[in-house]
A = this chain, B = another copy of it.
């Protein structure tokens, strides 16, 4: 068998692998990229990008409901053409995929191996009919939507994000199974495109929300659009050319289901057990999220495959860390960014920093609140629904985290994440400019509410301004 020796082998050319590559290239020219299956990242092919196109079109179409009230007539004449929507989704998606593929790896033909890698031993991979001996190996194989094995014989009725965007048309009636971030985003979009949707989840929470009040408000808001059946497992049964979906005492007959039950790591056939280290229930070895190193092996694991922070910018960081460390004799630990999660529903659902799940156990936590019912700009946009909860330290007003369901909340999420990462207090933030009329003023109101609950008020003449010496 042919044998090749390299400094570094990267398994997977998705986002994490490509970011790893950019760091690896600064250390060595002697590397290979191994990729089995389709080129193009999860993000561009089947994730962030096509889903956002679908969401955007659905939101634009849904917005017709405010037209009559605002003097725009004829909204009742608007019709959605699902095949045309899906073509537009794929057209933009193809552009994003091409950008990813044609970018960093175009000139690396001789370093790219098309095939699935399998560990023979911790520093030897078998790919096709070749052995690759690598001083360091980066595992960045990504993840795949989970479908329960028991549902194998329903496979013609089950869509996932892997094939949803390939559909020429969409059926009239669907159940969305699993209301995490992806299920809720796509479920709302499909509903708004005119497909009859029921959303179901085993949990009583949606979109991973941890704050019970925000969760209740979110459930209430989404249930005004389409039914959510929560707290029971969904069961499938074939009925002619339809599916009967049971969820507790309720049931519905649908054309297809979207399975959005989470994602599983792509490790089948990888021979990860050859690393000789303990694997968790998902089959993933223990690793250090600050170095991305697996145990004390010359192996690094980055991106969705490790399940740690399955969002693009974190996959980027993990790729950078893994790539950098793979190129060094001694690994460096890096501080990870303030956690940030955005569900691109309308309104957005946001989680920043520490969650209520962690904070509710402490006695000295205060919560700044703002209801968006009367928020000026939200009223102007006909989107005055939502609630902010910001968590802070009672003694100092230091910002710890936030959860919210707010129109255009994605932008507030950045302001808060940047502020929390800098260890700012509510008093620091109230000294910042808030323009008018903007959604950011809703954040300002929540901050005033938080400020009022802080026990140690600073000795400042005006809360909003700093006195000059």
A150 contacts the other chain (CB 8 A): no
A440 to B54 Cα, complex, angstroms: 20
**Residues of chain B with a CB closer than 8 A to A85's CB:** 70-72
Q: Is A48's CB under 8 angstroms from B432's CB?
A: no
Known A81-B73, A435-B414, A440-B411: A467·B332 in contact at CB below 8 Å: yes
Q: Is A435's CB under 8 angstroms from B311's CB?
A: yes
Residue of B nearest to A342 (CB): B435
A334 contacts the other chain (CB 8 A): yes
Q: How far is the CB of A182 from chain B (nearest CB, A)?
A: 14
A96 contacts the other chain (CB 8 A): yes
Residues A247-296 near B (CB distance < 8 A): 290
**Residues of chain B with a CB closer than 8 A to A290's CB:** 468
**Residues of chain B with a CB closer than 8 A to A440's CB:** 411, 414
Q: Is B462's CB under 8 angstroms from A23's CB?
A: yes
Q: Is B77's CB under 8 angstroms from A71's CB?
A: no
Residues A72-116 near B (CB distance < 8 A): 72-75, 77-88, 92, 95-96, 99
Q: Which of A132-140, A312-320, A393-401 contacts its partner?
A: A312-320
A297 contacts the other chain (CB 8 A): no
Interface string of A413-424 (1 = CB under 8 A from B): 111011101100
**Residues of chain B with a CB closer than 8 A to A312's CB:** 435-436
A77: which of B74, B82, B321 is its contact (CB, 8 Å)? B74
A3 contacts the other chain (CB 8 A): no
A52 to B436 Cα, complex, angstroms: 10
Q: Looking at chain A's contact residues, is the secondary structure mostly helix, strand, loop, or mixed?
A: helix
**Residues of chain B with a CB closer than 8 A to A379's CB:** 92, 95
A70 to B92 Cα, complex, angstroms: 10
Q: How far is the CB of A207 from chain B (nearest CB, A)?
A: 15
- Number of A residues near B (Cβ < 8 Å) is 88
**Residues of chain B with a CB closer than 8 A to A419's CB:** 418
A434 contacts the other chain (CB 8 A): yes
Number of copies: 2
A380 contacts the other chain (CB 8 A): yes
**Residues of chain B with a CB closer than 8 A to A233's CB:** none
A70 to B64 Cα, complex, angstroms: 14
A324 contacts the other chain (CB 8 A): yes
**Residues of chain B with a CB closer than 8 A to A239's CB:** none
A49 to B437 Cα, complex, angstroms: 7
**Residues of chain B with a CB closer than 8 A to A408's CB:** 408, 411
Q: Is A435's CB under 8 angstroms from B321's CB?
A: no
**Residues of chain B with a CB closer than 8 A to A337's CB:** 431-433, 465
Known A340-B433, A432-B417: A87·B75 in contact at CB below 8 Å: no
Q: Which of A55-63, A209-217, A448-456 contacts its partner?
A: A55-63
Residue of B nearest to A463 (CB): B320
A313: which of B374, B436, B466 is its contact (CB, 8 Å)? B436
Q: How far is the CB of A426 from chain B (nearest CB, A)?
A: 14
Residue of B nearest to A325 (CB): B461
Binding site for B on A (CB under 8 A): 23, 43, 48-49, 52-53, 56-57, 60-61, 63, 66-67, 69-75, 77-88, 92, 95-96, 99, 290, 311-313, 316-317, 320-321, 324, 332-338, 340, 342, 374, 376-377, 379-381, 408, 410-411, 413-415, 417-419, 421-422, 431-440, 461-462, 464-468
Pick 16 A–B contacts, CB within 8 A, sort by A.
A52-B380, A52-B437, A60-B63, A61-B72, A74-B77, A74-B78, A77-B78, A95-B379, A313-B435, A335-B468, A340-B433, A342-B435, A410-B438, A411-B411, A413-B435, A414-B434
Q: Which 4 A-B pairs have the closest CB atoms?
A: A71-B84, A71-B85, A411-B411, A77-B77
